[in-house]
Structure 1
Amino acid sequence: MNPLLALSDAQIGGWVGSFLLPLFRIAALLMSMPIIGTQLVPTRIRLYLALALTVVLVPGLPAAPAVEGISLQALVLVAQELLIGVMLGFALQLFFQAFVVAGQIIATQMGLGFASTVDPANGISTAVVGQFLTMLVTLLFLAMNGHLVVIEVLTESFVTLPIGGGFLVGHYWEVAGKLGWVLGAGLLLVLPAITALLVVNLAFGVMTRAAPQLNIFSIGFPLTLVIGLVIFWIGLADILGQYQTLAGEALQWLGELAKTR
């Protein structure tokens, strides 16, 4: 055997720790985050992107612990890196789901709850209004370089959340507790439209009690739909300010998750 090609166990373990362990965290994030982690991007492309990011980031990362290629310690470290990557990706998903929830609420209030379409990103059926808000927030996220911020947070996580730092059970409970934030943010996004539609429905109710012979219900549904679309269109004028506020909170929380505390 050529002595130049002979590799020791220590060298193999160093390569495993230096390249494979960061690769698992990066790949887990790319597989679970919005936009890149959806069905619109093929799995092979996501893996290529994860390899490219790993090659670029590894030279500047802190030294990873050397482990044996096939051992219980390596499996535990791989599981830790996968969970950290999925946790960060799921935390970013919560920000996007706030707009999906907002679209579902306003669609139900205006009578468009039955108008649903298949979401090509997730492969599920969602309200048309929710799909519109999802596409809008995706474009805003890319236009404001949100994906670059995510990569920056991911890079800093290898310093603030080093490899082998543990399973971080408290972080996962914090992510689960943020589901309430999703519902609250979605409600705040469409609260003016819901209030306006409530006033319209109350007006229809008063008219029905005052003049039952007018048969308000025959014109109430199409009129509510038209008024709801107009109110939704007017509400889009402030969508940028609301997006910046929610995006700032989500990205700040993402950075806090990438720390051991």
Structure 2
Amino acid sequence: MNLAALLSVEFLGVALVFARIGGIVMFMPAFGESFVPVRHRLALALVLALALYPAVPQGPISLDAPGPLVGMIAIELTLGLWIGLTARILLSALEFAGSQIGLVSGLSNAFSPGLGSFQGSTLISTGLMLGGVAVIFATDLHHLIIAAMISSYQIFPPGQILPSDLAQQIVKAVSQSFYLGLSIVAPFYVMGLLVNLGMGLASRMMPSLPVFFVAAPVLIMAGLLVLVMATPVMLREFAERFGEWLGMMVF
């Protein structure tokens, strides 16, 4: 085999790895954030594909049969997108938790304080998601993400796909994300219940008390206080669940 033919088959092998890695990087938390330019994500995916190619069970591909090659590229891209989207669904638990915190603490009503065009609940959701991204880098979970890219070839061998299993795992990912969001926001439900119960008893004992104008500041301050105390635990719980999924990629 001459050098040109060797480079061609090796290039096609790298292209298949790039199809999976690129799909992962496009949506993977920390790597695929919207504030990261698309060109930078593509460049990172290319560098990772070149670096991981010797470590994955993906050999050189011949161009003799272009039909099967196109099918393999489509399968690898689908698997990469599935992995990235599943991880993104897990991260959305923090966004759901932020919206619930704003709802419980009164930051999502029309009279709540805002910053520019953003309501308080939107700011909390954005802050929690950015905190989750920061925790991924602070706890070296991005190294585990790269390791998961390699281990994905053991879970999903090249050229093989089971659409029914992928669909079932997506459904389980949504349920796990919803459960995670509810579990980390549970202290705020307790806080809201206690504060509203106290305001209700106060209004019964003093009917002339303007409950809304008194309860709103108390509820907001209590919500912010609980947020300060509970945020480290919330982010740690997300990091643990996210790391567990990266290690197995199943629920």
Query: Normalising to structure 2: TM-score of the pair?
Result: 0.86
2:105 to 110, 118, 129: 110
- Superposed, 1:208-247 pairs within 5 Å as 208-236=203-231, 238-239=233-234, 241-247=236-242
Q: Do the aligned residues in 1 keep the contact of 2:30 with 2:142 (CA within 8 Å)? A: no
Q: Percent identity?
A: 24
1:150 aligns with 2:150: no
Map of 1:82 onto structure 2: 77
Which shifted more, 105-114 or 56-65? Answer: 56-65
Post-superposition CA distance 1:106-146 (Å, at most 9, x none)? 11111112547889xxxxx9711111111211111101111
Map of 1:99 onto structure 2: 94
Map of 2:40 onto structure 1: 45
Question: How many angstroms apart in 2 are the aligned matches of 1:240 and 1:197?
Answer: 21
Map of 1:61 onto structure 2: 56
Q: 1:68 to 1:50 in 2, by over 3 A?
A: same
Question: How many angstroms apart in 2 are the aligned matches of 1:111 and 1:243?
Answer: 24
Question: How many angstroms apart in 2 are the aligned matches of 1:168 and 1:201?
Answer: 47
Question: How many angstroms apart in 2 are the aligned matches of 1:179 and 1:133?
Answer: 18
Q: Specify the SS of the correspondent of 1:178.
A: helix
Q: Which runs of 5+ in 1 are unaligned?
A: 120-124
Question: How many angstroms apart in 1 are the aligned matches of 2:34 and 2:179?
Answer: 27
1:193 to 177, 183, 188: 188
Map of 1:122 onto structure 2: none
Which shifted more, 81-90 or 41-50? Answer: 41-50
Q: 1:52 to 1:118 in 2, by over 3 A?
A: farther
Q: Do the aligned residues in 2 keep the contact of 1:12 with 1:68 (CA within 8 Å)? A: no
Q: 1:18 to 1:145 in 2, by over 3 A?
A: same
Question: How many angstroms apart in 2 are the aligned matches of 1:193 and 1:12?
Answer: 59
Q: 1:226 to 1:166 in 2, by over 3 A?
A: closer
Q: 1:133 to 1:82 in 2, by over 3 A?
A: same
1:205 to 189, 200, 220: 200
Map of 1:134 onto structure 2: 129
1:36 aligns with 2:31: yes
Q: Compute the displacement of 1:25 (Å).
A: 0.4
Query: Normalising to structure 1: TM-score of the pair?
Result: 0.83
Question: How many angstroms apart in 2 are the aligned matches of 1:192 and 1:230?
Answer: 11
Task: State the number of aligned residues.
Answer: 246
Q: 1:226 to 1:212 in 2, by over 3 A?
A: same
Q: Specify the SS of the correspondent of 1:212.
A: coil
Q: Compute the displacement of 1:194 (Å).
A: 1.3
Runs of 4+ in 1 over 6 A off after TM superposition: 116-119
Q: Do the aligned residues in 2 keep the contact of 1:117 with 1:127 (CA within 8 Å)? A: no
Question: How many angstroms apart in 2 are the aligned matches of 1:154 and 1:117?
Answer: 40
Q: Do the aligned residues in 1 keep the contact of 2:108 with 2:121 (CA within 8 Å)? A: no
Q: Do the aligned residues in 2 keep the contact of 1:116 with 1:127 (CA within 8 Å)? A: no
Q: Specify the SS of the correspondent of 2:208.
A: helix
Question: How many angstroms apart in 1 are the aligned matches of 2:117 and 2:173?
Answer: 26
Post-superposition CA distance 1:144-168 (Å, at most 9, x none)? 1111101101112224422112344
1:249 to 224, 244, 247: 244
1:176 aligns with 2:167: no
Q: 1:252 to 1:47 in 2, by over 3 A?
A: same
